[in-house]
Amino acid sequence: MSVAVCSLPLPLFSDIIHAQSLLREVVKKTPLERSKSFSTLSGADVYLKLENFQTTGSFKVRGAYYKISKLTSAEKAKGVLCASAGNHAQGVAYAATRLGVKSTIFMPVFAPPLKVIATRSYGGKVILTGDTFDDAFQAALEFQKKSGASFVHPFNDPYIIAGQGTVGLEVFEQLREVDDVIIPIGGGGLIAGIGIALKQLNPDIRIIGVEAEGAQSMKASIENGEPVILNTVNTIADGIAVKSPGNLTFEAAKKIVDEFVVVNDAEMARTAYLLLQRAKILTEPSGVAAMAAILFNKAKVKGRKVVPIISGGNINMSILEQILDKGVMDEGMRARIQVLIPDQAGMLKSILSILEKMKASIHDIAHERSTTSVPVGYVQVTITFNLQDTIQLPALLAELDKKGMQYQVLT
């Protein structure tokens, strides 16, 4: 893998204005909503820019449409292609179809089935290839050589950056007195575009970039003085799991980003859960990175008007299930206990009667007899149950103590 290099210059503010004029009839002007809950939790005045409500479920369609719209007629006739595991794929497929252009999307074989289905539904021809994103990317480049199709890069392209910058124009139109805008960073296209737009409109607006702890390629590049390539990335936030920024996005970030902060997977998972529970907003982990930076005090914004960009909502169902399960357990409304009981009739019933008495509803039960940690003649029972109040668990454990049962609470 090498650093993505583009010979064209960064877009100007005028380019972002032009992009907005082209996109006006294509993309949604997404809501900017003040969150009372998150303002209270953070001590800041929080306004959520909800790009998860955008067409295709993320901001990516803005840049993709603007890029494809700027191709010549001859280039459009040869089609477009991209490599992506999710949001960029959907944005390119939708934009190309809207513009009457054939699109070929290379996705790694591990790409979530729902994202593959969505990309096809937007009109893209999906080719699943390779065990990693890099494999899919290389396959796309080989296809480009043979087909002559135009490659739509996910971030290192001035037209992509200009399209994403229209998010910044909308933020300023919706909240002129904004102090800070917090933006997730993957390859850097979104923060480059928003930063160029907002710094032109008001240089005093702070631009704060957020990376996942397991994918800090932009931060490492800034510290190194040039784009670097991480050996690996490891985060649940697949939308910002990028090994290296491009030369354009690095140049933009160096000029316009006031601060870089980092959030971890647990913080993003907790934030996604709270957004769903408190604000009824479904997001993906990368989409909540900016809000996580506020909630966990990574960005110092107390007392300021702050806009976190909620960049996408295309969450994998398996990740959503884990986030919900962990969120409910963290709040003390679901518990999991492991009990060692004699393998005799009626023993399990005695535990269930305690749960019934506490009005706890059983979520799941598992039995284990065959492991070496379980003595002969005993069974290890793992019970997951929902509670009506956080004070119920201590009372339930006291009942198990009375019966002399061996147990442990699993977290």
DSSP code for 231: S
Per the rule left: phi > 0, alpha: psi between -120 and 50, beta: everything else, 281 is beta
305 is catalytic: no
Tell me the C-alpha distance between 287 and 265, whole Å.
Answer: 12
Contact 178, 147 (CB under 8 A): no
Decide: 216 and 264 in contact? Cβ < 8 Å: no
Tell me how far apart the alpha carbons of residues 10 and 251 are, in angstroms, rounded to a whole number.
Answer: 8
353 included as an active-site residue:
no
- The single residue of 49, 60, 76, 298 carrying the catalytic annotation is 60
Residue position matching structure tokens 């979530």: 112
Dihedral of CA atoms 11, 76, 153, 139 in degrees, nearest 10, equals -160
Would strands 206-212 and 45-50 be described as parallel, antiparallel, or unpaired? unpaired
Q: How far apart are CA 399 and CA 354, in angstroms?
A: 7
Is 329 in a helix, a strand, or coil? helix
Residue 389, SS3 per DSSP:
coil
Q: What is the side-by-side strand order in the sheet with 334-342?
A: 361-368, 378-386, 334-342, 406-410
Structure tokens at 160: 């992509």
Active-site position among 42, 221, 244, 311? 311
Catalytic residues: 60, 311
